[in-house]
């Protein structure tokens, strides 16, 4: 495994100061590659290329992961559903990526058991009650995972299933299939990939919007960037430009050539979050979506339960989509039917989030039937655009785009030697927390939370906490998060404002019923102090 090119005890700072320095360099240096988009796709491309030794700039118009990449179902999975569409290659690649991420960032790819309850009545079983067909699908899923499988599927008796999910409807329940996939924290995965890219020398900036391009006979010669923090605009020069802007990619392609592009068909998916006590499932459970021929995941996540998702064409503003009341009602109803003893109502919903899938338009297929495979377009303007794909396949997608970038650079530079992709061996977040770490008397909830959230950088957060009593204190009484995390986010993760910390670095805005408003003042104070101390 390749560690980041700095030592464990002194991770590179990635602060508002670093950002200002990066912006200065972006305006003055010439880059091999400019990557537009700080979601998982752009983050992966920046890491792949920087770790091959290329000079890379990454630009994100809002905060890193503020687009689709913080709004997914948080699964690193093969996608059992894609087997029905005969997407065997996509499933096999995804399962392989699941195995790679389990090695490079174990705390961001944690095995989780999924129950598929089987009822005598077809409409109560999420994937139909055909036990044979399902068993064959799960057998194939295990087969495609190969020797690196994280656990084989099995049949679970009715009693055992009701132990794992006590509030699941027992009426007509025959038992359940159990299979394994992995759970992540999507926004933190993006942040860790970006931090690692930065450690390999990529210059990264959030709140830096690409507004336009300059063209030369050779293609695109420069990008026009608006620094949304500093309030100035500047030009960034790069040999190759990658457009990794997800649902915005048509818009960015249009900036490069003045044409209207219609490659992307955004599809909205929402999730709801409820307290874990409501449904009490210890494993993830698949349930039917009320009145639809599809299923929902009920996923235990950070001490809460996340339920979703939907899949519907979307034509409103791409910025900050939200869940509508009828979408929330449908999910609540579906969960209330599947878990009747929970008596779940909309009053139980702690929070919701909505994301837009950057699906590639393929005529009139229903959105759920459109392939989740990515596509790469080498545009006439010179832009290399990557769209579609999944969170799970970020590393392999990045490798494929990077190969095209490398080929282009080599064509221009007499086949200059450029390293092959290293990313399957690069540890994210410094790997696992070290065993000997002193826990400084924190309670076990906080210790577990910090280890699961920060992986090998757990000790760095503890070091920050030692700086003052305020940093050791919990931010909200019933959550394990501590003040040090706000400072850590500002010092090492380029969090620029309170929302960056609450929504994407700590996820408090998702799992707290008050969306973290009760601690927003403290977070702001800690960040101000940190940002002014330089
Ligand atoms: P984004 O994350 O949207 O990133 C694009 C970025 O580009 C944005 O941050 C945006 O601000 C920036 N940008 C746009 N325009 C500009 C500009 N002009 N200048 C600078 N920056 C710009 N996949 C899985 O593997 N597992 C799952 O469980 C899963 N669940 C999902 C559930 C839902 C509801 C949805 C919607 C998707 C899910 N996916 C899942 C798919 C996965 O989340 C996406 O494929 C992935 O996050 C897309 O990442 P991206 O980087 O391409 O796009």
42 pocket-lining for ligand 1 (C-beta < 6 Å)? yes
Question: Tens of pLDDT along 292-351?
Answer: 889 999 999 999 999 999 999 999 999 989 999 999 999 999 999 999 999 999 999 999
Max distance between CA atoms of the chain, in angstroms, equals: 70
Rounded alpha-carbon distances, angstroms, from residue 173 to 114, 115, 168, 457, 511: 16, 12, 9, 44, 31
Q: What is the C-alpha to C-alpha distance for residues 269 and 272, in angstroms, rounded to an integer?
A: 11
- pLDDT value of residue 9: 46
Task: Give the model's pLDDT for residue 511.
Answer: 97
- At 433 the pLDDT is 75
pLDDT, averaged across the chain? 94
The Å distance, Cα 504 to ligand 1 centre, comes to: 13
On the question of pLDDT at 436 being above 90, the answer is no
- Helical H segments across 146-217, by residue range: 158-164, 186-199
Q: Is the beta carbon of 244 within 6 A of some atom in ligand 1?
A: yes
Ligand 1 near 372 CB (within 6 A): no
**Pairing between strand 295-301 and 284-288?**
antiparallel
Residue closest via CA to ligand 1's atom 51 equals 39
Q: Give me the half-sphere count of Cα atoms (radius 13 Å) on the Cβ side of residue 270.
A: 23
d(CA 510, CA 507): 5
Is residue 249 within 6 Å of ligand 1 at its C-beta? no
Q: Give the Cβ contact number of residue 81 at 10 Å.
A: 17
Q: What angle do CA 227, 229, 234 make, to 5 degrees?
A: 20
181 near 114, Cβ under 8 Å?
yes
Q: Tell me the pLDDT band of 480, cut-offs 50, 70 and 90.
A: very high
User: What share of the chain has pLDDT > 90, as a percent?
Assistant: 85
Which two three-digit tokens encode residue 332?
A: 């609540």
C-alpha span between 471 and 83 (Å, rounded)? 48
List CB contacts of 478: < 8 A, sequence separation 6 or more. Answer: none
pLDDT of residue 361: 84
Structural contact between residues 64 and 494, judged by C-beta atoms closer than 8 angstroms: yes
The SS3 assignment for 239 reads: strand
Q: Measured between alpha carbons, how far is 506 from 486 in angstroms, rounded to an integer?
A: 8
Residue 473 CA to residue 442 CA, distance in Å, equals 10
Instruction: Please give the Cα distance from 365 to 506 (Å, whole number).
Output: 38
Does the C-beta of 309 come closer than 6 Å to ligand 1? yes
**363 or 204: which carries more pLDDT confidence?**
204
Question: Residue 64 pLDDT > 50, yes or no?
Answer: yes
Q: Which residues pair with 353 in a beta bridge?
A: 271
**Alpha carbon nearest to ligand 1 atom 31, residue:** 72
- Ligand 1: distance of its center to the CA of 156 in Å? 35
Pocket test for ligand 1, best of 244, 248, 373, 374 (most atoms within 8 A of CB): 248
Q: At what angle do helices 517-533 and 484-492 cross, to 10 degrees?
A: 50
The sign one gets for the Cα dihedral 201, 205, 206, 212 is negative
Question: Which residues lie below 8 Å from residue 259, measured CB to CB, with a gap of 6+?
Answer: 253
Task: Report pLDDT for 534.
Answer: 60
Q: How many CB atoms lie within 10 A of CB 475?
A: 24
Choose among 215, 282, 188: nearest CA to 503.
188
Q: Which of 274, 247, 275 minimizes the C-alpha distance to 262?
A: 247
Residue predicted with more confidence, 366 or 267: 267
Question: Residue 20 has what pLDDT?
Answer: 97
Rounded distance from Cα 40 to ligand 1 centre (Å): 7
Whether the per-residue pLDDT at 527 is higher than 80: the answer is: yes
For residues 430 and 8, the answer to whether their CB atoms sit within 8 Å is yes
Instruction: Tell me, using a 6 A CB cutoff, whether residue 227 lines ligand 1.
Output: no
Cβ contact 455:461 at 8 Å = no
Nearest atom of ligand 1 to the alpha carbon of 269: 34
Q: Is 40 in the pocket of ligand 1 (CB under 6 A)?
A: yes
Judge whether 280 and 167 are in contact, CB under 8 Å.
yes
Checking if the pLDDT of 7 tops 60, the result is: no
The C-alpha atoms of residue 230 and residue 336 are separated, in whole angstroms, by: 49
Ligand 1 atom nearest to 42, measured from its CA: 51
- The confidence score (pLDDT) of residue 8 equals 43
Adjacent-strand bridge partners of 275: 304
Query: Is the distance from the beta carbon of residue 74 to the nearest atom of ligand 1 less than 6 Å?
Result: yes
Task: Please report, rounded to a whole number, the percentage of residues in the chain having pLDDT higher than 70.
Answer: 96
Ranges 211-225, 243-257, 498-512: which has the least confidence:
211-225
Q: How far apart are CA 85 and CA 515, in angstroms?
A: 38
Angle at 302 between CA 524 and CA 504, to 5 degrees: 40
100-121 confidence digits (pLDDT tens): 999 999 999 999 999 999 998 7
- Nearest atom in ligand 1 to the alpha carbon of residue 387 is 52
Q: Running DSSP on this structure, what letter comes out for residue 421?
A: P
């Amino acid at each position: 495994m390749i560690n980041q090119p700095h030592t464990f005890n002194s991770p590179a700072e990635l602060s508002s100061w670093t950002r200002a320095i990066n912006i200065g360099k972006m305006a003055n240096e010439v880059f091999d590659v400019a990557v537009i988009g700080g979601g998982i796709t752009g983050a992966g491309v920046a890491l792949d290329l920087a770790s091959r030794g290329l000079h890379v700039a990454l630009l994100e118009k809002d905060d890193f992961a503020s687009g689709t990449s913080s709004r997914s179902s948080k699964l690193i999975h093969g996608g059992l559903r894609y087997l029905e569409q005969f997407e065997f290659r996509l499933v096999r690649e995804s399962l392989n990526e699941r195995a790679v991420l389990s090695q490079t960032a174990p705390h961001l790819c944690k095995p989780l058991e999924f129950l598929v309850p089987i009822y005598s009545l077809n409409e109560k079983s999420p994937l139909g009650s055909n036990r044979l067909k399902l068993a064959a699908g799960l057998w194939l899923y295990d087969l495609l995972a190969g020797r690196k499988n994280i656990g084989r599927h099995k049949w679970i008796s009715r009693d055992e299933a009701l132990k794992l999910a006590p509030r699941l409807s027992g009426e007509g329940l025959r038992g359940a299939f159990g299979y394994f996939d992995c759970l992540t924290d999507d926004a933190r995965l993006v942040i860790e990939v970006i931090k690692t890219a930065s450690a390999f020398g990529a210059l990264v900036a959030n709140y830096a919007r690409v507004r336009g391009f300059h063209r030369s006979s050779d293609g695109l010669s420069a990008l026009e960037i608006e620094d949304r923090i500093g309030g100035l605009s500047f030009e960034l020069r790069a040999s190759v430009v990658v457009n990794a802007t997800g649902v915005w990619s048509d818009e960015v392609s249009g900036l490069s050539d003045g044409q209207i592009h219609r490659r992307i068909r955004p599809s909205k998916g929402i999730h709801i979050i409820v307290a874990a006590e409501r449904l009490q499932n210890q494993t993830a459970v698949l349930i039917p979506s009320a009145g639809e021929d599809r299923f929902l995941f009920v996923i235990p996540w950070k001490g809460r339960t996340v339920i979703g998702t939907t899949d519907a064409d979307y034509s409103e503003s791409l910025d900050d989509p939200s869940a509508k009341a009828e979408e929330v009602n449908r999910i609540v109803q579906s969960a209330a039917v599947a878990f009747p003893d929970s008596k779940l109502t909309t009053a139980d919903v702690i929070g919701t989030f909505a994301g837009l899938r950057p699906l590639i338009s393929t005529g009139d297929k229903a959105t759920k039937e459109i392939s989740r495979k990515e596509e790469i377009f080498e545009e006439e303007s010179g832009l290399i655009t990557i769209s579609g794909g999944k969170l799970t396949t970020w590393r392999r997608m990045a490798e494929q785009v990077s190969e095209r970038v490398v080929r282009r650079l080599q064509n221009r530079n007499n086949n200059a030697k450029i390293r092959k992709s290293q990313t399957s061996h690069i540890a994210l977040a410094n790997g696992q927390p070290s065993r000997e770490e002193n826990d400084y008397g924190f309670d076990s909830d906080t210790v577990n939370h910090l280890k699961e959230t920060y992986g090998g950088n757990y000790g760095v957060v503890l070091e920050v906490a030692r700086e003052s009593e305020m940093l050791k204190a919990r931010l909200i009484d019933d959550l394990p998060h501590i003040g040090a995390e706000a400072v850590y986010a500002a010092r090492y993760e380029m969090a620029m404002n309170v929302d960056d910390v609450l929504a994407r670095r700590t996820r408090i805005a998702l799992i707290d019923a008050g969306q973290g408003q009760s601690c927003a003042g403290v977070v702001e104070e800690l960040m101000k102090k940190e940002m002014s101390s330089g």
